[in-house]
Structure 1
Amino acid sequence: MSFDRNLGRLEQAMEILNTRATTWNVVTISRINGSVNEDVIRQSLDLIQCRHPRLNSHIVSSRNGWKFQTEGTDKIPLRVVKKLDSKQWLEVFYEEMNNKIDSNKYLLRVVLVHILSDRHVSFLITTAHHAIADALSCIRLHSEILTYYQEISVGEAIKPLINLTPLPPTEELIPQDKKGLKGKINSLFFLLHLAWQKLWYRPETLGFEKYLPIAQRYSDVIHRQLEPELTQQLVNRCRQENTTVNSALCAAMMFTVAQKLLKNNKKFVRLSCLSYLDVRRHINPAISDENMAVLATSNMGFHAIHTNTNFWQLAREVKQKLEASLKQGNIFKMILIAKYLIDFCFIYPKQVAATVSVSNVGKVNIPKVYGELEVEEISFAGTHALYGGLFTIHASTFQGKMLLNFVFSRPSISPETMEALVNTFITYILNISQCQHDFCLHDIPQRDYYPVKQ
């Protein structure tokens, strides 16, 4: 049975981002305790490539644009790297973020990093084309790879593979009343409303410290971790304040930028926050995490922050605006207009897409132990070379620990500036999590120490 088909509009946008800007490919990293055999990893990759038809596809040009094609697809590339120290996984992460996917050959590649100073620590890094995957499906894919690894290692008979049927384009999965002519008209009005909001609010951003054309930009990352005790304190405070962890992360990101922008007796600043959401649970019937597709959408919120803005009130405002947007079906409208927004970034490369961006998958629900192997950490990030001047965070929580990847486009933001922003963000998280009273923008002092793992 052939699973070849033309790419949908959102999938086309992801291919444009990959080929023209090395942007929005999904890089997922697992830290594994145990001796990992590369030959067994190779066999596991062959199995998942059979199970997931889109992993056995590549993208080719056709008379009607681009299409997924199975015939002629390469095996999933596996590269094995040896590094001296466990912190050097970030070097490989950096390399993966800044190498586009050869989509005319494959749509997923894998790196196994062995740590020479500790033979029992390895890192499994996958880079997936966003046209076929999102963060949730990539995290689930790591679990599948390690599950097959466990079965092969102990000599178990591999259960008959249940090959998944690839999903249609994301635009075809949204509710019927959001599609067709009515959907196009509503999406056009939504696009115009979004443009009007940007003109009305005129949100400020970090801007460009140094401007370069899109083709010369590249992604960088700063990694931080919140230990389980601090993570739980944050969760508890969010519950007390009738808001969500995602909304608190959005508020902390905006507070961080506002503190930098509010200088010289300036009293308030208008900012925009781009939040990414999983649409699986909003589609009927719901779609499982194991189905590989681009099943993420976004929501843009606009906020005014004054020097006396209460942190928790801002977090609740973020939550309320997101809930209102969900009720209006805006998450589906964003899917339909996403390609226009991406095209805009290429047409106007000096524009900054938003002030801050937050992608939080929440609690990761995969097993920790796979025979003799144990997953100690798992996190992800989307490559962001295109999006100059954007302060971005990718968050996941595994085994009680929150892992944070702050991705930024260089040279629009320098490493020194990003390091200072991240430290300010962590200061806000520490204070709001550990103190019971309310905070305004300038109530939180800077700390000279950061009890957070780097």
Structure 2
Amino acid sequence: MTAGGGAEQLRRPLSPMERWYWICDQISPLNVIARVHVTGAVTGEALARAGARLAEEHPLLRVAVAAGPDGSRPCFVAVKDARIPVRTVRCHELAPERWERELNDVELVAPLDLRAGPPARIVDVAQGAPGTAGECHDLILTVSHVIADGTTAMELLRRLVELAAASATAPPADAPWPRRPLPPPEELLPKRINGLPRAAHFVASVIADQIALVLARPRRLEPATPVPPALRRTRLIRHELDAAQLDALVRRCRREDVTVHSALVAAMALTVSGTAGQAGRGARVTVGSPVDFRADLVPPVGPRDAGAYVATVPSHVQVGPTGRLWAVARGAHRDLRRRKRLHQHLALVSLLRFMVPRSVGRSARAVAMVDRVGPGNICLSNIGRYDFPDRAGRWELSGAQFVAGISVSGYLVATVNTSHGSLHWNFTYIDGAVPRERAEWIAHRAVRTLLSGLGLAGTPAPDQGRALMPDTTTTRG
């Protein structure tokens, strides 16, 4: 089937949330990336066929973005060539870390051309001699945050691998099953959220929250060196909890009556505060949590429908006076649960129509506000357990995980998913604003703080640190 042949095309204006992501991406790349390791023989032809089928199935993979002469009024339009490009990186020897280099040097820093489309690309990092027992591949799918979040990226990669494995020996004979275009997320919000009384209630709660914020003076990560928005580039540091560590974490969280997410938030908050056991009385750290709202929509949206369906809400996590991991985790759990109960994530999506600038040319004030008080300054995006298959056809699959670009939304983002028996905890940061040494300090210390809190044998206790980590400041709102 040719691009769009027989499949319904998506043509509509970008919604406010989509427009904000599109504006951010024009300033600095805002990509979402999923990766999986494949043991077996993968060909570029099979990937190209699978990419074409994937685009035929998903309307949002067959679009470009067109805008007016002044950069306003962006709209989705049909892309002229919906084939997802495939780039192959050949390593004749085994190079397990080469895919990280591709992310750092290309996929996190090179924007997708949304003016021409499609909003996705594929990279095959091929290792070992083709046709030998040692042949393996790291498959990387990069998609624009305008049309995808972490769940979408993982789901698209899963489907891509499934299609490629099926067509590894011959083109598939069956016809694709294109999905129908969905309305923008804002149009699927419950009526009570979009209504004026609910919006007024949310504005009042935001004002109250800002007053509490001023009084609490939470700590935020400030740049060591100011980096202009257009020059911000994302870099990656990877961490992973193995099966035994993951099992210990899950069991301890159940015992403490908290979520894995809140335990990870607590470890990051303690690390950024620089206290790790000696927090000052009342000290707080703001950590943003993207909340998946697919199930809240009317009708609900399933994970197999592409789109960005997360809204980031801030939690002002109290790390004092004890600074103990599980006490901090309980506080973080209560705070996020309260915000979800008040539907702050849904109200935020609804109110974006009043807040998002019209174009990049009019975005300076909004970007400055995000820098000053935005919830993504330090962020933990956790999609939880994602059951990526262990096999596809003759291929063995492992290490499925995702990574998020930051653009102008903050300075440090951690992405988390549990797949193939491991918890992948990836940290991205803005190069220069957060020096590499400091980013590694935060990432390593957060993992050590968590493992130390689990009491695992041989886990070194975190250093006590200083009252404030270098280049961490206290803000007043």
**What TM-score comes out, normalization by structure 2 length?**
0.85
Aligned to 1:358: 380
Aligned to 2:289: 275
Following the alignment from structure 1 to structure 2, what is the Cα–Cα distance between the partners of residues 422 and 351?
Answer: 23
Aligned to 2:438: 417
| Residue 380 (structure 1) aligned with residue 402 (structure 2) | yes
Offset at 1:88? 1.5
Q: CA offsets per residue over residues 224-243 of structure 1, 9 Å max, x none?
A: 11111111111111011111
Aligned to 2:322: 308
Offset at 1:174? 1.1
Offset at 1:387? 4.2
Contact kept, 8 Å, 1:57 with 1:70, in 2: the verdict is: yes
Following the alignment from structure 1 to structure 2, what is the Cα–Cα distance between the partners of residues 422 and 216?
Answer: 23
Alignment-mate amino acid for residue 19 of structure 2: Q
Following the alignment from structure 1 to structure 2, what is the Cα–Cα distance between the partners of residues 267 and 191?
Answer: 25
Alignment-mate amino acid for residue 292 of structure 1: A
| Residue 15 (structure 1) aligned with residue 22 (structure 2) | yes
Q: Relative to structure 2, which stretch is displaced further, 242-251 or 350-359?
A: 350-359
- Of 107, 114, 138, the residue aligned with 1:103 is 114
Aligned to 2:341: 327
Alignment-mate amino acid for residue 419 of structure 1: E
Aligned to 1:189: 204
Aligned to 1:452: none
Q: CA offsets per residue over residues 293-321 of structure 1, 9 Å max, x none?
A: 11111221113322523321221221122
Aligned to 1:82: 90
Aligned to 1:391: 412
Q: CA offsets per residue over residues 63-85 of structure 1, 9 Å max, x none?
A: 87011111524421211112452
Following the alignment from structure 2 to structure 1, what is the Cα–Cα distance between the partners of residues 209 and 146?
Answer: 24
Q: Relative to structure 2, which stretch is displaced further, 186-195 or 250-259?
A: 186-195
Q: 1:262 and 1:214, CA in 2 relative to 1: closer, same or farther beyond 3 A?
A: farther
Aligned to 1:222: 237
- Kindly tell me the number of residue pairs found equivalent between the two proteins: 438
Following the alignment from structure 1 to structure 2, what is the Cα–Cα distance between the partners of residues 157 and 216?
Answer: 44
- Of 392, 413, 428, the residue aligned with 1:370 is 392
Aligned to 1:29: 35
Offset at 1:334? 1.9
Gaps of 5+ in 2: 1-7, 358-362, 465-477
**What TM-score comes out, normalization by structure 1 length?**
0.89
Aligned to 2:59: 53
Contact kept, 8 Å, 2:54 with 2:159, in 1: the verdict is: yes
Aligned to 1:175: 190
Aligned to 1:92: 102
Aligned to 1:136: 151
Q: CA offsets per residue over residues 319-366 of structure 1, 9 Å max, x none?
A: 122222222111101213457389555134753635631111111123
Q: CA offsets per residue over residues 211-250 of structure 1, 9 Å max, x none?
A: 1211122111101111111111111110111111001000
RMSD over aligned CA atoms reads 2.6
Contact kept, 8 Å, 1:35 with 1:119, in 2: the verdict is: no
Following the alignment from structure 1 to structure 2, what is the Cα–Cα distance between the partners of residues 341 and 260?
Answer: 36
Offset at 1:5? 0.6
Contact kept, 8 Å, 2:290 with 2:380, in 1: the verdict is: yes
Q: Relative to structure 2, which stretch is displaced further, 242-251 or 128-137?
A: 128-137
Q: 1:415 and 1:170, CA in 2 relative to 1: closer, same or farther beyond 3 A?
A: same
Alignment-mate amino acid for residue 387 of structure 2: N
Alignment-mate amino acid for residue 58 of structure 2: H
Contact kept, 8 Å, 2:44 with 2:88, in 1: the verdict is: yes
Contact kept, 8 Å, 1:237 with 1:433, in 2: the verdict is: yes
Contact kept, 8 Å, 2:64 with 2:116, in 1: the verdict is: yes
Contact kept, 8 Å, 1:22 with 1:99, in 2: the verdict is: yes
Following the alignment from structure 1 to structure 2, what is the Cα–Cα distance between the partners of residues 296 and 222?
Answer: 23
Gaps of 5+ in 1: 437-442, 448-454
| Residue 318 (structure 1) aligned with residue 332 (structure 2) | yes
Q: 1:26 and 1:128, CA in 2 relative to 1: closer, same or farther beyond 3 A?
A: same
Alignment of 1:241-256 (within 5 A): 241-256=256-271
Contact kept, 8 Å, 2:61 with 2:82, in 1: the verdict is: no
Q: Which secondary structure state, in structure 1, belongs to the residue aligned with residue 97 of structure 2?
A: helix
Q: CA offsets per residue over residues 3-58 of structure 1, 9 Å max, x none?
A: 211110000001001111213x2111111111211110000000011111110111
- Of 67, 75, 100, the residue aligned with 1:67 is 75
- Of 283, 293, 306, the residue aligned with 2:307 is 293
Following the alignment from structure 1 to structure 2, what is the Cα–Cα distance between the partners of residues 148 and 270?
Answer: 47
Contact kept, 8 Å, 1:32 with 1:374, in 2: the verdict is: yes
Following the alignment from structure 2 to structure 1, what is the Cα–Cα distance between the partners of residues 76 and 302?
Answer: 22
Q: Which secondary structure state, in structure 2, belongs to the residue aligned with residue 413 of structure 1?
A: coil
Following the alignment from structure 1 to structure 2, what is the Cα–Cα distance between the partners of residues 426 and 332?
Answer: 31
Q: CA offsets per residue over residues 188-211 of structure 1, 9 Å max, x none?
A: 434434443433322112311111
Q: Which secondary structure state, in structure 1, belongs to the residue aligned with residue 167 of structure 2?
A: helix
Contact kept, 8 Å, 1:86 with 1:121, in 2: the verdict is: no
Q: Relative to structure 2, which stretch is displaced further, 89-98 or 200-209?
A: 200-209
Alignment-mate amino acid for residue 120 of structure 2: L
Q: 1:415 and 1:222, CA in 2 relative to 1: closer, same or farther beyond 3 A?
A: same
Alignment-mate amino acid for residue 61 of structure 2: L
Aligned to 2:181: 166
Q: Relative to structure 2, which stretch is displaced further, 340-349 or 107-116?
A: 340-349
Q: CA offsets per residue over residues 169-201 of structure 1, 9 Å max, x none?
A: 111111111114334434443443444343332
Q: Which secondary structure state, in structure 2, belongs to the residue aligned with residue 200 of structure 1?
A: helix
